[in-house]
Amino acid sequence: MATIIVPENVSIHEDAENLQKACKGYIVCSLNIDLLIRWGTDEKAIINILGHRNAIQRKQIRQAYEELYQEDLIKRLESELSGDFEKAVYRWILDPFDRDAVLANVATKKVETEFPVIIELSCIYSPEELLAVRRAYQSRYKRSLEEDVAAHTTGDLRKALTTYRYDGPEINERLAKFEADILHEAIKDKIFNHEEVIRILTTRSKAQLKSSFNRYRDEHGTSITKKLLKDESNVLQKVLHAVIRCIDDPKKYYEKVLRNAIKRSGTDEDALTRVIVTRAEKDLKDLKKLYYEKNSVTLDHAVSKEIAGDYKKFLLTLLGKED
């Protein structure tokens, strides 16, 4: 379930006007005469408006703003805001698939650390959603996502980051057992560049893979992710581990990303922003619940202790904090 709180009556036109005032940074103070008082960008107003609008409304606001002021709202916000707050607002205001394309493009340039962004797309998103992201990517960058991934990677890593799955519910039990054994042999012998392992993880449907993971657990008494965790040392292993975790249980995976982002010394703002922005209209409520179960502290509380200023106010708004 989503976390953002959208009021019942929203006037797109007023939103656009108020955003322009917030960007202009002055208010008209009517005493005996009209007094124009400039006090800089009104971040609070920006958070109050955009943080309480869904994707369709945000798109309509961008369009209304363009019509009213012949100016791109996104560009205007970029010039008014800065730092992690700017980044978060920018990611939030984009169309969801376009936002994913931007996130993916950034990730292709530093795959060794940012590979989770690409794996989330290929292993958590449905093939239809992935297709929409690929289309947004092509329209924005005039290249294919896979072309850019391939240009920045080599060998097994390149293979592991490219997937083609069928989306259906059918399961072949015999195949699940057979491939669970292949996975087990590879993990046992620590052969992670095993071509068959990469083939299985990048081409089998999620339903089929889950069935293989279940077989693995039933036959070997431990989950495949637990077993893998112990041996994680190079990038390829980390990638395969993330692939398995994303397919096995996306919510558990995201909770862990949030936990690591917060617990890391220095905070991983990019990861924190990414999960909150991309999940706020999907399942962030479930992630909050899971976070509390695993950490005995609410995600809102953890976020609010970890970051500050407008960035904090904005993320808390997306997390569903009442004003």
Binding-site residue positions for Ca(2+): 25, 40, 80, 262, 264, 266, 306
Binding to its own copies (CB under 8 A): which residues in 130-159? Answer: 131, 138, 142-147, 150-151, 154-155, 158-159
Q: Shortest Cβ distance from residue 21 to its own copies (Å)?
A: 39
H or E element that contains 27: strand 26-30
Q: Which residue lies nearer to its own copies by CB, 195 or 231?
A: 195
Burial label, 274 (beta-carbon count in 10 A; 0-12, 13-18, 19+): buried
Binding to its own copies (CB under 8 A): which residues in 182-201? Answer: 195, 199
Which one, of 67, 66, 61, 63, lies nearest residue 48 by Cα?
61
Q: Which residue lies nearer to its own copies by CB, 9 or 154?
A: 154
CB 315 within 8 A of CB 303: yes
Q: Which residue lies nearer to its own copies by CB, 62 or 134?
A: 134
Interaction of residue 104 with its own copies, rule CB under 8 A: no
Q: Which residue lies nearer to its own copies by CB, 169 or 221?
A: 169
Q: Shortest Cβ distance from residue 204 to its own copies (Å)?
A: 7
Interaction of residue 203 with its own copies, rule CB under 8 A: yes
Residue 290 to residue 283: CA distance in whole angstroms: 11
Q: Which residue lies nearer to its own copies by CB, 132 or 299?
A: 132
Q: Is 96 helix (H, G, I), strand (E, B) or coil?
A: helix
For its own copies (CB under 8 A), the number of binding residues is 27
Q: Which residue lies nearer to its own copies by CB, 144 or 234?
A: 144
H or E element that contains 114: helix 111-123
Q: Shortest Cβ distance from residue 233 to its own copies (Å)?
A: 23
Q: Shortest Cβ distance from residue 270 to its own copies (Å)?
A: 26
Which one, of 257, 256, 253, lies nearest residue 243 by Cα?
253
Q: Shortest Cβ distance from residue 287 to its own copies (Å)?
A: 29
Burial label, 110 (beta-carbon count in 10 A; 0-12, 13-18, 19+): exposed
Figure out which of the listed residues 122, 202, 278, 317 binds its own copies, where binding follows CB under 8 A: 202
Supply the DSSP string of 285-321, one letter for each residue: HHHHHHHHHHHSS-HHHHHHHH--HHHHHHHHHHTT-
Those residues whose C-beta lies under 8 Å from the C-beta of residue 160, and which sit 6 or more positions away, are: 198, 201, 202, 236, 239, 240, 243
CB 61 within 8 A of CB 53: yes
Binding to its own copies (CB under 8 A): which residues in 41-70? Answer: none
Interaction of residue 204 with its own copies, rule CB under 8 A: yes
Q: Shortest Cβ distance from residue 217 to its own copies (Å)?
A: 23
Pattern of binders to its own copies over 164-183, x per CB under 8 A? xxxxx-x-------------
- Which residues make up each annotated binding site? 25, 40, 80, 262, 264, 266, 306
Q: Shortest Cβ distance from residue 134 to its own copies (Å)?
A: 8
Supply the DSSP string of 53-92, one letter for each residue: --HHHHHHHHHHHHHHHSS-HHHHHHHH--HHHHHHHHHH
Q: Shortest Cβ distance from residue 119 to its own copies (Å)?
A: 16
Tokens at residue 198, please? 């990469």
CB 296 within 8 A of CB 304: no
Q: Which residue lies nearer to its own copies by CB, 167 or 173?
A: 167
Per CB under 8 A, residues contacting its own copies are 131, 138, 142-147, 150-151, 154-155, 158-159, 162, 164-168, 170, 195, 199, 202-205
